[in-house]
Structure 1
Amino acid sequence: MSSSASQPGSVVAVSRSASHSFSKPAAEAITLIENWGVEGDAHAGVTAQHLYVVKKDPTRANLTQVHLIQEELFAELADRFTVGPGELGENVTTRGVDLLTLPLGTRLHLGTTAVVEVTGLRSPCSQINAYQGGLMKALVAKDDDGCVIRKSGIMGIVVAGGVVAPGDGLRVELPAGEHIALGVV
């Protein structure tokens, strides 16, 4: 049995790309397919599709079917960078929920039927600096205890399919039991 959190949020933008490009163009809507990912996106599939993971283990389960970033990050970066939805490679840009603090296994209900289960944090790669110099350093920080904080969003798998569009609601369903902090996936 899972507990529901009273963290209402919303979908700001959705994006997809059929190529392994860094940024993803905005779409009017995306279709999430159970156990697959975003229809028409290069990172969709049962096994890992990120090029660096495929080189290491092409049979690894795809725990990165959907990439989500909270819009609030763009405001945090605005004094040094110009970044908008889809530009950091995310499929879903959200508002109103602190995605980075969600525990492993959280289920994000997007729109009326789609559900994404959170699998971990996205670790920013050097392509971010090619996009805008110095951006990677802005997306990786350290807290007062010296622990690394990754701000480049979260990853998940599709556990229930559906169409997701800007303006859709976002509801957080926390996992039952002890909550485990997200690690890099």
Structure 2
Amino acid sequence: MGKVIAVCISEEKGTQKHSVPEAEFIEDWGIKGDAHAGKWHRQVSLLSHDKIEDFRARGAQVADGAFGENIIVEGFDFAKMPVGTIFRCNDVVLEMTQIGKKCHHGCEIFQIMGDCIMPREGVFTKVLHGGVIRPGDEFVCCEKGQEQ
């Protein structure tokens, strides 16, 4: 079991995500108002709070959403979980579809730090059932392939 630390969106592609007090998740689309939502397999991105804190401890000054993550969760090491893992938060059900992504070396974090954790620590999900998520909400991992 984990806890949502932040929920982040960006209204336009190419701009840094920022935290919001709550977000509406739409089935088979993503987060309402987020530029990266759509009918594809990377509707919502997740990143472990612990991995962000480790990166900050190395001197990085990064705000929530700086890596392009939609949800920051405490209590999970997402990159060690298999594709197909199901997560539930309130009414929202997410299915992990991809681990990591290729990072363009022009990203500001990589330019400053010489490293970026999103390519190896970030995971992507699609929305199986919609609802609302807020910081402080309980985030649960279900068995692979189950939605209970």
TM-score calculated relative to the size of structure 1: 0.71
Q: Pick one of 108, 119, 122 that aligns with 1:130.
A: 108
Contact 1:105 1:174 in 2 (8 A): no
Contact 1:118 1:157 in 2 (8 A): yes
* Alpha-carbon distance, 1:98 to partner: 1.1
Query: Map of 1:97-176 to 2, 5 A cutoff?
Result: 97-110=76-89, 112-126=90-104, 129-135=107-113, 137-139=115-117, 150-151=120-121, 153-175=122-144
Query: Which structure has the bigger radius of gyration?
Result: 1
* Alpha-carbon distance, 1:124 to partner: 4.3
What runs of 5+ residues in structure 1 fail to find an aligned partner?
1-7, 47-61, 141-148, 177-185
What percentage of residue pairs aligned between the two structures are identical? Answer: 29
| Distance in 2 (alpha carbons) for counterparts of 1:102 and 1:124 | 19
Q: Which residue identity is paired with 1:103?
A: P
* Alpha-carbon distance, 1:85 to partner: 1.5
Residues 64, 138 of structure 1: alpha-carbon distance in 2 compared, 3 angstrom cutoff:
closer
After TM superposition, the runs of 4+ consecutive aligned structure 1 residues lying more than 6 A away are: none
What runs of 5+ residues in structure 2 fail to find an aligned partner?
none
| Distance in 1 (alpha carbons) for counterparts of 2:24 and 2:109 | 27
Residues 158, 130 of structure 1: alpha-carbon distance in 2 compared, 3 angstrom cutoff:
same
* Alpha-carbon distance, 1:174 to partner: 2.1
Query: Map of 1:17-28 to 2, 5 A cutoff?
Result: 17-28=10-21
| 1:31 partnered with 2:24 | yes
For 2:69, the equivalent position in structure 1 comes to: 90
